Amino acid sequence: MQNDVISYFLSLVAIDSESRDERRMIDTLKADLEALDCTVEEDDCHHKTGGNAGNLHAIFPGSIQKPPILFCSHVDTVTPGKGIKAQIVGDKIVSDGTTVLGSDDKSGIAEIMVALHRVKQSGKAHAPVEILFTISEEIGLLGAKGFDKSKLKSALGYALDTHRVGELVLGAPSQNSFKATFHGKEAHAGVEPEKGLNAIRIASEAIAAMPLGRIDFETTCNVGIIQGGEATNIVPNKVTIKGEARSHNPQKLERICNDIRTAIQSTVARYEAQGARVDFNCVQEYKSFSVAEDAPVVQLAVAALRKLDIPFTTGKGGGGSDANILTANGIPIIITGTGMDKVHTVNECIELDQLRLGTDFVEELIYGYSEL
Ligand SMILES: [Zn+2]
């Protein structure tokens, strides 16, 4: 592997790895981790998720006897992510404008790998480092969900998966997703509409009765998909809606999901005599997590950033990531910035300096942890 973070990052984004198609990335990283004397294991999580490669779990051995420090990043990218042609323009790396760049999350991977390389080259004493590269994060945290968390040995950890280096995300909301299929009655819309029961109308009334948007400072709710109907001359008999709710507060999340259920059931009840019914389900996608500002995992990061003279911020995030799944197993993990910018768009980019600073940060975390 290249020891320069810019060239290594460029080599990683040149490897296609949209979700469920991570084989080449996993093979490359496995070889690179082995070259760093790591013990590496790929799991078979993809047999459950339908992809072509498993999660990669590695231990970079250390001369100081203590539990390892964990770094994790995901290897998959969103679409359009095939045939990424990265280019350096000024002080940034960008795509050619037809695909994402893949700095989400290959900037994290590059910073971890190059930091390990530097630590190895230095010959300095250090604690062991645990590395987890997950698959299919972008399609519902599938890799982290399928990974056997009892394998994790670390005392604390960092998920490198947010924006500026120095950004520390200490918590993220719980998310539930819901789906409702409304059943009405089909009829010819021009000949005998009175024999029909319009499922689109019932779904619309139910949606209008739902609490949506920003509910409060820590709670949101959205209907994002509506599907149904066959033709303008048919009274539709079936409509499906899909949505989600998030909150940092589990009780509020439960309340909002109950409100959604009530909006749906009370609407359908008004049409029950005409034959309306609904199939509704609501499932938990992931649990919230929250790490205290004075927790060692945060203090270690703050000390490293101060030492490197990198400005830092602490706060809570609005999205789910592998940290939601991995912290549920008891290891305190926070999400840290890598420099990725405008992610999930074809304008995605990263500053060259951010990649360098992100690598310094990981290296400093390893030494800082080793001295604790
Ligand atoms: Zn990401």
Give the domain CATH number at 278.
3.30.70.360
Q: What is the pLDDT of residue 90?
A: 97
How far does residue 281's CA lie from ligand 1's centre (Å)?
27
Q: Would the pLDDT of 330 be above 90?
A: no
Residues 244 and 157 in one domain: no
The predicted-structure confidence for 101-126, as pLDDT tens digits, reads as follows 999 999 999 999 999 999 999 999 99
- Tell me how far the alpha carbon of residue 107 lies from the centroid of ligand 1, in angstroms: 10
CATH of the domain at 345: 3.40.630.10
Give the mean model confidence (pLDDT) for residues 345-353: 98
Q: How far apart are CA 175 and CA 193, in angstroms?
A: 40
Count of alpha carbons within 13 Å of 223, Cβ hemisphere only? Answer: 19
Residues 178, 149 share a domain = no
> Which amino acid would we find at residue 193?
P
Q: Model confidence at 318, in pLDDT bands (50, 70, 90)?
A: confident
Q: Are residues 32 and 43 in the same domain?
A: yes
Final residue in a domain of this structure, among 270, 286, 302: 286
State how far the Cα of 260 lies from the Cα of 219, in Å rounded to an integer. 14
Determine phi and psi for 110, rounding to 5 degrees: -60, -40
Q: What is the pLDDT of residue 329?
A: 77
4 CB-contact burial (10 Å; exposed 0-12 / middle 13-18 / buried 19+): middle
pTM, two decimal places: 0.88
Question: For the chain, how many structural domains are there in total?
Answer: 2
Residue 254: pLDDT above 90?
yes
Range of the domain at 19: 5-172+288-371
Residues 182 and 50 occupy one common structural domain: no
Same domain (yes/no): 84, 101: yes
d(CA 97, CA 34): 34
Do residues 19 and 119 share a domain? yes
Q: How far is the CA of 104 from the centre of ligand 1 (A)?
A: 5
Q: 85 and 209 share a domain?
A: no
Domain boundary among 240, 256, 286: 286
| Domain boundary, last residue among 269, 286, 303 | 286
- Provide the percentage of residues in the chain whose pLDDT is more than 70: 100
What pLDDT is recorded for position 320? 86
Catalytic residue numbers?
76, 137
Ligand 1: centre distance to CA 233 (Å): 44
pLDDT digits (tens, 9 = 90+) for 21-61: 999 999 999 999 999 999 999 999 999 889 999 999 999 99
Shared domain check, 35 and 14: yes
CA of 80 to the centre of ligand 1 (A): 15
Residues 181 and 273 in one domain: yes
Residue 16 has phi, psi (to 5 degrees) of -65, 135
Give residue 59's pLDDT: 98
Are 69 and 166 part of one and the same domain? yes
Co-location of 274 and 224 in the same domain: yes
Cα of 344 from ligand 1 centre, angstroms? 9
Domain shared by 210 and 167, yes or no: no
Per the structure block, which two tokens stand in for 211? 């609490």
**Interval 293-311: pLDDT, tens:** 999 999 999 999 999 999 9
Residue 319 has pLDDT above 90, yes or no: no
